[in-house]
Amino acid sequence: MTHARTAPLVAACAAALLLSACGSETGGTAAPEPTTDTTTTGTTTETSETTSSSAAAEAGGDVTAPGTELEVGDRAVVPFKYGTTKTGTIALTVTAIEQGDNADLAKFGDKAQGITPFYIRVTVENVGGTDLSYSSVSLRGLGSDGRGTGVIISGDTDRCESETAARDFTAAGAKYETCVLQAAREGSKVVAASFTDSDDYKDDPVVWQG
């Protein structure tokens, strides 16, 4: 299902601006090694490993730790919540980060001057088998410094159409492909994509390097 969104460009601090002057934004860093706690009782030794994701048990399996750095093409398994009722576990595979042309943003008018679009292509898989029909995912583009580009854009272009999950996105293994539109100032690039759309990942995202 395609959302033909044509929402205008907005800024992170003021609706009249494209380029945000907000405070610094932090990209992902390498994930810490799992901690190992060993408890010895008599002759029995018990070892338990924990990750920084509190959702691992609910996910019914391992999830990708917050702060993990991946390459484009790698798969991350993350807890997911959409709206107030839909929760589950999904896998995200960023398959490409493509640079577009300013001309692709013609429908945005003068507000798009000096802006270069980038297209983050991602495959979404239902891992937990819960009802995630009609849900959608959000990824964020990062510049070469590991921070946001300072430009926030929403909508679609002819080369990048945002898709939502179909009605039957309710079973483990169900998949769909979508494109996330991001942008940067002319002369700058989006070189990575990050997932922050879950409580454990807001401050320590999973990052795919292009």
**What is the tens place of the pLDDT at every residue in 101-138?**
999 999 999 999 999 999 999 999 999 999 999 999 99
* Cα 137 to Cα 195: distance, rounded to the nearest angstrom: 9
pLDDT digits (tens, 9 = 90+) for 27-76: 333 344 444 343 333 433 333 333 344 444 344 458 999 999 999 999 99
Question: Mean pLDDT across the chain, nearest whole number?
Answer: 80
Side chain identity at 149, as an amino acid letter? T
* Cα 26 to Cα 13: distance, rounded to the nearest angstrom: 17
Give the residue-averaged pLDDT of 69-84. Answer: 97
Of the candidates 57, 17, 39, which has an alpha carbon nearest to the alpha carbon of residue 151? Answer: 17
Q: What is the pLDDT of residue 61?
A: 56
Q: Identify the residue with better confidence: 93 or 31.
A: 93
Of the candidates 52, 71, 74, 72, which has an alpha carbon nearest to the alpha carbon of residue 62? Answer: 52
pLDDT digits (tens, 9 = 90+) for 2-40: 444 444 444 333 332 344 433 333 333 334 444 434 333
Q: What is the pLDDT of residue 179?
A: 98
SS3 185: strand
Which pTM was predicted? 0.74
* Cα 208 to Cα 192: distance, rounded to the nearest angstrom: 5
